[in-house]
Amino acid sequence: MNNTVETIVKMVESLPEALQERVVNELRSVIVEANDEAEWDMQFERKQEGLMNAGRKAKQEIAQGVAEPMDYEKL
Per-residue CA distances from 15 to 1, 28, 29, 30 (Å): 20, 17, 19, 19
Average pLDDT, the chain: 92
pLDDT in the model for residue 43: 87
Residues 6-40, buried b or exposed e (16+ Cβ, 10 A)?
A: eeeeeeeeeeeeeeeeeeeeeeeeeeeeeeeeeee
Would you state the pLDDT for residue 21?
Answer: 96
Helix axes 17-64, 3-13, angle to 10 degrees: 150
What is the distance, to the nearest Å, from the Cα of residue 44 to the centroid of all Cα atoms in its chain? 7
- What are 11-40's pLDDT values in tens digits? 999 999 999 999 999 999 999 999 999 999
Q: Identify the band that residue 49 occupies on the pLDDT scale cut at 50, 70 and 90.
A: confident
Q: Is the pTM value of this prediction over 0.85?
A: no
